Chain A
């Protein structure tokens, strides 16, 4: 039998191909997860994603309520609608998780990310970098005779666009915070 040469999941006969009736459209969702700020809680969330084979595109975490010991984890993830639903249900099962909000489906939301971008260059390229930074409302937070460090805040796409423009102008290094997001309006 040539059976053992078959790739996992390459055939519908596979019991591991567990999602035959579900949509295979890949969506990007931003999830806000409110957790108790206790040891190991981030490891639980990340371990869930790695252990069950989910994707993390971006992840930020920080304490948001010192008195209540609450932290907010913002995760940008990709998957089919069914996988996204699983991720939310699995997150909800973690004992120190208080709430999981899917900002992508629960109405409009704002997403912001901060990046620090180091650009090295001289002459025209240096002038052009500074001009583009002005257009993108990026601030210069460090400067030498042949380099700048820009600080830029915005939606991830805006940072991507700025970084793409800086690349031919001498982009050396970049640090990004990952996405922080909140729903718009008076909703909690």
Chain B
């Protein structure tokens, strides 16, 4: 229905028509007309963050935990540039985010006006698409197209830059078009011939493995259900990337655990030794493949991905299938069932025997201590004390993130929010705020390192203001743990600037914001302290002082293939050879 209204009102109307209930933002001169409209309505909640980066990460947390797009409203210039890290993060992890930025009036663009930045120019390479709207009549159509682009195909962040005069001017509002913009309609159905070929390969494979990623989660709940059905019916083992945890339950009998640089021994060995690899919604990231010319050398590889540019980008595949995971899995299951549900059972039995031998290595074992809290132990206890609750986990980036992926178990999709592709320290705390906004009664825990956490600690104000009882579980080793680990392994134990000096007293910090602080340093007190954190009705900073020298294992050293893993008790000296040292 076409109606006349101001551009600013159109923004609020379009958000309502798109079903948006929450916006994360920060006001400023160039978005004041929109903020004035936000003030005069009650359908959309606005969450005032303390920094625009926090707004985008919060929107990411909201999006990843709900499957709906996250929405951000910030001002021009510094508002927009502060949002850039979040946009890049969402682009690499394929998270649907709609960011609206204010801009100086159209007649001032290019004059270096106050708080002017070339926002579409700056954000072009870190958005899926962006728009500068110069005409109020084009605004509503652009807003609706933005939601369509962000959520269709491979999801991603989009940005709409709205000059202040466009917000003030009156124009014609049009509602959303069913099915979205005609010019952007990615293919969702997979090619049936390729699916048939994959079924034939699956029926005869002696050592098949499913390798799944964030694409399964992005495809929606149906994709996870179909994946579970497929894996359980075929009896093949399954591993997942960091981004895909929860799509197949960690309690499932075919689950091997996460793969990759800090993945489980059995998962990486199975990837190396398989004869059929079925990649579902993952992208052969370098954290997964290790050395590409020795990556799973004896397997046929199939790749299901909605983005054609992911196919053959890094690893050559034999059976490429472009399509949405849920659509392709549905067809795959149909074909496999109609052909009589055949599998090479004899081969599979032998394969599982081999996998069980690898599992027996027990790669996550570590030497516990009754004097200091081992970070692995802290996470094991956190898992034990929270697993039966309605729980969502976010993380920052580093050792604690890898330990969380190893020691926490996810049985449902959308329960695990972490910065995978970009590796953004400072992601987890604002993300936990976004998750808690979407799930007010759930237990939301950010597993953090002290260094990462400090990067966006200003969001304590947001948590207090909006009464969001997010739990900040900080594994405090007074180090940039992962940086130290690499310096130890390949820079001659010269720990250049990788320790956390002048740390705040986290308990006092919590109290200064009006939150609860808990300090724990004795393993004997840990359970009680965790329970105190869970039972407290409000935000908690949990300062868990852990063993300072602990390294994260297993580990595939850079430049090595999957079957050259370092385990916890292995000698790490000279583990990374010359070629690997140039890598990150």
Contact = CB atoms under 8 A, between A and B. Distances in A.
Contact of A44 (B124, B132, B311): B124
Interface in A1-40: 1-4, 6-8, 11-22, 36, 39-40
A154 interface: no
A91 B311 CA distance: 14
B340 interface: no
A14 B559 contact: yes
A147 B428 CA distance: 69
Contact of B124 (A15, A40, A82, A92): A40
Nearest to A96: B183
Contacts of B130: 40
Contact of B183 (A3, A22, A95): A95
A17 B292 contact: yes
Interface in B115-159: 120-121, 124-125, 128-130, 132, 149
A168 interface: no
B582 A86 contact: no
B316 interface: yes
Contact of A15 (B289, B308, B311, B577): B289
Interface residues of B, number: 40
A95 B308 contact: no
Given A14-B583, A15-B559, A22-B316, A2 B578 contact: yes
Contact of A13 (B308, B315, B559): B559
Nearest to B574: A1
Interface in B291-346: 291-293, 307-309, 311-316
Contacts of B293: 12, 17, 20-21
B581 interface: yes
B492 interface: yes
B582 A89 contact: no
Interface residues of A, number: 37
A16 B490 CA distance: 18
A11 B124 contact: no
Nearest to A21: B316
A6 B121 contact: no
B494 to A, nearest CB: 11
B300 to A, nearest CB: 14
B578 A13 contact: yes
A16 B578 contact: no
A6 B558 contact: no
A51 B125 contact: yes
A43 interface: yes
A55 interface: no
B309 A6 contact: no
A6 B582 CA distance: 7
Contact of A89 (B309, B315, B316): B309
Contacts of A89: 308-309, 311, 313
B291 A12 contact: yes
A30 to B, nearest CB: 20
B220 interface: no
Contacts of A39: 132
A17 to B, nearest CB: 7
Interface string B277-291: 000000000100111
A85 B121 CA distance: 26
B538 to A, nearest CB: 43
Contacts of B574: 1
Contact of B581 (A1, A12, A86): A1
A93 B309 contact: yes
Nearest to A95: B129
A90 interface: yes
Interface string A129-159: 0000000000000000000000000000000
Contacts of B290: 15
Contacts of B124: 40, 43-44, 47
A78 B314 CA distance: 19
A98 interface: yes
B309 A3 contact: no
Counting chain A CB atoms within 10 Å of each CB, the highest count among B183, B308, B309 belongs to: B309
Nearest to B287: A15
B125 A3 contact: no
A1 B129 contact: no
A119 B124 CA distance: 42
Counting chain A CB atoms within 10 Å of each CB, the highest count among B560, B577, B582 belongs to: B582
Contact of B492 (A1, A14, A90, A98): A1
B110 interface: no
A162 to B, nearest CB: 39
Interface string A47-86: 1000100000000000000000000000000000010011
B513 interface: no
B29 interface: no
B420 interface: no
A13 to B, nearest CB: 3
A11 B583 CA distance: 11
A1 B149 contact: no
B292 A20 contact: yes
Contacts of B366: none
Contacts of A3: 490, 576-578, 580-582
Contacts of B315: 21
B580 A13 contact: yes
Given A3-B576, A6-B578, A86-B313, A13 B291 contact: yes
B579 interface: yes
A15 B289 CA distance: 8
Contacts of A19: 292
A53 B120 CA distance: 21
Given A6-B578, A14-B583, A47-B125, A36 B183 contact: yes
A118 B40 CA distance: 67
B39 interface: no
12 contacts: A11-B559, A11-B578, A16-B583, A18-B292, A20-B293, A40-B124, A40-B132, A51-B125, A82-B312, A86-B312, A94-B129, A95-B128
Given A1-B492, A89-B309, A89-B311, 4 more contacts: A1-B574, A3-B577, A8-B582, A17-B293
Interface of B: 120-121, 124-125, 128-130, 132, 149, 183-184, 286, 289-293, 307-309, 311-316, 490, 492, 558-560, 574, 576-583
The 9 closest A-B pairs by CB, nearest first: A13-B579, A3-B581, A20-B293, A89-B309, A13-B559, A11-B579, A95-B129, A15-B286, A89-B308
